[in-house]
Amino acid sequence: GASGTDAKSLSGFLESFQPDSEKCVVVFIDADGYEDAETGVRDQLSTPVKEIISTVDIRPGYVHLIPANNTVVFADGALKLQRLTRGDANRSALDTCYASFAEAYGPAAVGILLSGTGGDGISGLKRIKEKGGAVIIQRPDTAKYKARLSDALHDRIFDFITPPSEIPRNLISLEAAYEACKTLGPAPPTPAEIGYVSQILWLVFVRLGVDFREYDQVTMRRRIAHRMAATGNHTLADYHAVLKADPIEQEELYDALLARQSYFFGDFRRFDDLIAGFSKLFNDGNKQTLRIWVIGCSTGQEAYSFAIAAREYCKSHDIGCKVQVFATDMSSTAVDVARTGLYLSGELADVPKNLRETYFTKKTRHYQINNEIREMCIFSTHDIVKDPPFSKIDLAACSTFYQMMGKELTEKVWRTIHYSLDLNGILSIADSPNTNFSEFFAKSADTKTLYKPKNVAKTLSPRTELLHRIGKLPVFDASMTKKSSSPSSLFLSHAPAGVVINAQGEII
């Protein structure tokens, strides 16, 4: 994605990048300045440049240009041109292009965002990340138009941030890292490569307390590859050496391993089913407080969606019930973004107009969740596998984070959610997992995404959160004061995550 009126950024990339017999590049140029940019691209490159007219086969060694006021769909190895219509007003052409690219190529996709006006592209890049692909953005201080690049930085959806001329080098590093981690080809990793991956994940476990060796290893290797390429390391051995000596990179890798995308009203089936779910929860007419737990909330879109849905139901049925939404995620970085309640217009594409006007306030470049909804939501860092769970939950919402986990961890997740739910509680989940799920939950009648807890014993797996928190003991420093080793300081450093509640189970 590039701007036609910032020729310097686009030419800086294309001068350094020449498609070869295995690669091609598809260029989306903003409508403003498109004709001049197209001429510049043709004059600049020795490789063939082809403007997409209707449908064209994707040909390695070519640069494919998307004409102004159009987008493309990637399907069956071809690019199919689509004209923009009035119905596309909430979704930019670039977002549509990126999303189709992600769907077609999954982990092999690389999305590049250069200087440009508007906030378009961010939502589509999130789709690329969701499918396991990589994202490269231009460093804002090298761009004529910085706004959308700054938006990408705010949402932390990039793997590389670099001047345009360095992007080809990033692509070479990424290719080498994919090969080292065996993430794309049919060849399985060697015992030595498996060993290095295990040691890398062990360093993260010792430093930050999450054992990613129990997660899906293909996903873990792919995300390690992204960090390897971002740090310029082409082998697992080199990256392991860097990681061992760099606590900051350990935290960067931790965030990369946890990264998950969140969307407003992302699965309409779930929110259609909520009407039936709320009807059951409010059936007795005496409920004073509705307690919702959104697990793996990421940057908050799903949590706010559930809060809005609950508020709308209560308003339409004249129910004076207090709604509490506990939204948790293992990533403190994602939780910090969620607490701001600020989102780009492209991220609201699936929010109905009436809800957008009621619950969002337009700022300069973002939309702000209104205070009425923000005050319902309490965001906190929490690891469902090892931290104490919430209790007396009426509705638990679980998106896709469990798909990264191995069999033993997913069983702990279902057991914990089952324990947390009230006897008449409901679980909202997009896809019914196979692993141990049916042991704890049964499909709720006449719905596709709601489940009720089975009447089996509520038990929790053994918790080892204190052991997980113990890393290397600090060397004694004479400057340490009594205050730094006081009970309150020790509590803040080592106590498991939790909240203070009253006798009715409400957060104080």
For 173-204, how does the pLDDT look when each residue is reduced to its tens digit (9 = 90+)? Answer: 888 898 888 887 778 889 999 999 999 999 99
Clarify whether residues 233 and 367 are in a common domain.
no
Clarify whether residues 241 and 295 are in a common domain.
no
Under 8 Å between Cβ of 182 and 189: yes
Decide if pLDDT at 88 tops 60: no
> From the centroid of its chain, how far is CA 390?
24
Side-chain half-sphere exposure of 403, counting CA atoms within 13 A: 13
What is the domain count for the chain?
A: 3
Q: What does the pLDDT read at residue 249?
A: 94
Task: Look up the CATH number of the domain holding residue 120.
Answer: 3.40.50.180
Decide if pLDDT at 421 tops 70: yes
Clarify whether residues 64 and 182 are in a common domain.
no
Q: Give the structural domain span for 16.
A: 7-162
CA quadruple 216, 218, 222, 228: dihedral sign:
positive
Decide if pLDDT at 83 tops 70: yes
CA distance 81 to 34: 16
Would you call 66 exposed, middle or buried from its count of C-beta atoms within 10 A (0-12, 13-18, 19+)? Answer: buried
What length does the chain have? Answer: 508
Q: What are the C-alpha distances in Å from 118 to residues 26, 32, 40? A: 20, 12, 23
CA distance 156 to 254: 13
Decide if pLDDT at 39 tops 90: no
Q: What does the pLDDT read at residue 86?
A: 53
Q: What does the pLDDT read at residue 376?
A: 95
Joined together, the tokens standing for residue 1 give 């994605």
Under 8 Å between Cβ of 305 and 335: no
List the one residue out of 166, 130, 126 whose CA is nearest residue 12.
166
pLDDT tens-digit map of 367-398: 999 999 999 999 999 999 889 889 999 999 98
**Secondary structure in 3-state letters for 272-298:** HHHHHHHHHHCCCCCCCEEEEEEECCC
Clarify whether residues 215 and 287 are in a common domain.
no
Clarify whether residues 254 and 120 are in a common domain.
no
Clarify whether residues 44 and 96 are in a common domain.
yes
Where a domain ends, among 112, 134, 162? Answer: 162
Instruction: Report the helix count and the strand count for the chain, using DSSP H and E.
Output: 18, 19
Q: What does the pLDDT read at residue 239?
A: 95
Where a domain ends, among 240, 258, 276? Answer: 258
pLDDT tens-digit map of 434-463: 666 888 888 888 788 899 998 877 766 555
Decide if pLDDT at 276 tops 70: yes
List the one residue out of 507, 500, 508 whose CA is nearest residue 292.
507
470 confidence band (pLDDT: 50, 70, 90): very low
Clarify whether residues 119 and 183 are in a common domain.
no
Q: Residue 475 falls within a domain, yes or no?
A: no
Q: Which residue has the higher pLDDT, 78 or 305?
A: 305
CA distance 120 to 111: 13
Where a domain ends, among 213, 230, 258? Answer: 258
Q: Residue 211 falls within a domain, yes or no?
A: yes
Q: Residue 254 falls within a domain, yes or no?
A: yes
- Partner residues linked to 432 by β-bridges: none
Report field, pTM of the whole predicted structure over 0.95: no
Q: What is the mean pLDDT of residues 55-82?
A: 78
Decide if pLDDT at 234 tops 60: yes
pLDDT tens-digit map of 256-267: 998 888 888 877
Residue 472 neighbours by CB distance under 10 Å? 7
- DSSP states along 426-470: EEEESS--SSSGGGTEEEPTT-SSEEEE-SS----PPP-HHHHH-
Clarify whether residues 156 and 202 are in a common domain.
no
Q: What does the pLDDT read at residue 462?
A: 54
Clarify whether residues 304 and 384 are in a common domain.
yes
Clarify whether residues 46 and 154 are in a common domain.
yes
Clarify whether residues 277 and 378 are in a common domain.
yes
Q: Mutual orientation of helices 217-230 and 191-208 as an angle, nearest 10°?
A: 80
